[in-house]
Amino acid sequence: MKIAHISDTHLGRRPRQTRSGIVNQEVRPLEDDFYSAWIKFVNEIVDKARNRPDVILHCGDFFDTPAGYDPSPPPEYARKVAAMTFRQLYDANIPLIIIDGNHGRYMEYRSSTLSVFPVAFDNIHLFTHYDTRDSLRIQQPLFIDINNLNLRVITHPSIESRALSTLGMQPVYKNWIHLQNNSISPDLINIAMAHGMIENSTLHEDFLKGNYQYIALGDDHRMRKVTDRAWYSGSTELWNFNEINTEKGYLMVELEQGKASPRITTKKIQSDRNIIFDTIEIYPEDTNLQIIKRVTDTFDVHGLNTRYEYSTAARVKIILKGKKTYGSSFNIGEIESALRKLALDSNDYNIVEFILDRPDYPEYTKQEDIGQSLVDNIEFLIEDPEKEFKEYVTALRNKDLEKQNLDPNLLAKIFAKVLNRSSEKTNDTSAVKRGNN
């Protein structure tokens, strides 16, 4: 049996620090890179002819939004790309099993952003976040049998196991994992798929102990082997610069019944876009112009001093490293503003995304910087801010609340409101304002 294992495609992803405007009146800058990676995958799979996979496993985060506290639905173009490519897979008669990740699903609705597609294409089998909740609540396994392939796929869509732990439901979750692992059929090829990580408590470690022939994992954007039978396929496109040294692509998995270990082949999805990540030292005696020149000289070294052309424009992150002493002659805020104008507003440099990671000197830390940093660091970690903040303070600060006569419900509402305002303000700012990613 041949399996294509892919995950974290994040269709609709819109990096923030990019040039303004809309590309071809359809997408935001860099948004189409995520579409292109998925389209390349589908075309490769369909064009294989005799060597096509028997089934595709997508391990979550198909769309990028909604996510965390961002309720935005996927862009319409993302839905269009999904429909076109799902049609290709339908015409090629290739089953697609897909699970919800922590991105691309609504928090308050039972429907998934993908719910319409199994209705339109009967080769698509979807397992949602709410399927996990229901399965956990009634303690029933969550799987699908594809009889013509002699295959059983046991699924674990994304779940907030941190919240489960806070609510004291960890034993229930652990029992469900054991129930899943004990649902293996001796007459079938048994595969598991999950979206989560043991490291951040979004996947129980016992899930990897099941006697599956292969475990397809998503959430970690690094393509990596966990065990001989368990792999993360990684993401298909650079989501942020923390992934600069990670290979992007998918996995081809070959299984033979009766053989203990699968045969794994990594498949790279090559991006045509140049990625620049560099560090520049700055000194107290520097002036604004000296630092700006040092950065633009770095642009020149990397061959970016050519006219802007979107299809080949680079994604650039520069880290400024150094200390500022009293009386230093440079102003980091003015330097940042000038560099963003050069990189993103002019046609003098072939740059589409520019991130300046600068030291946060207190006298130049702006209020919007604080809000941006707060949102960037938590928007994809906190699923339900009001609920999780209340759980946190009541679990760890209950005595302090009682002493100070503070209402945890009111505190939780204030916390969520602050996050919402920060998120709205950040989304409305222009690309010249600083953010982490």
User: Which position has the higher pLDDT, 402 or 89?
Assistant: 89
The CATH superfamily of 2-268 is Metallo-dependent phosphatases (3.60.21.10)
CB-side exposure of 354: number of CA atoms within 13 Å? 28
Closest CA to 161 of 184, 181, 138, 177: 177
Distance CA 315, CA 323 (A): 26
Domain ranges of the chain: 2-268, 275-360, 375-426
Mean pLDDT of the chain: 87
Q: How confident is the model at residue 432 (pLDDT cuts 50, 70, 90)?
A: very low
The pLDDT value given to residue 426: 47
Cα angle 113-135-185, degrees, rounded to a multiple of 5: 110
The pTM (predicted TM-score) of the whole model is 0.82
Distance CA 12, CA 75 (A): 6
| Neighbouring residues of 66: CB distance < 8 A, sequence distance ≥ 6 | 72, 73, 103, 104, 105, 106, 107, 113
Confirm if 422 and 375 have CB atoms less than 8 A apart.
yes
The predicted model gives 249-253 an average pLDDT of: 98
pLDDT per residue over 212-232, tens digit each? Answer: 999 999 999 999 999 999 999
The pLDDT value given to residue 380: 40
Q: What distance lies between CA 285 and its chain's CA centroid?
A: 41
pLDDT per residue over 255-277, tens digit each? Answer: 987 677 899 999 999 988 999 99
**Order of strands, sheet of 230-232, starting from the edge strand that comes earlier in the sequence:** 143-146, 151-156, 189-195, 214-218, 230-232, 224-227
The pLDDT value given to residue 373: 45
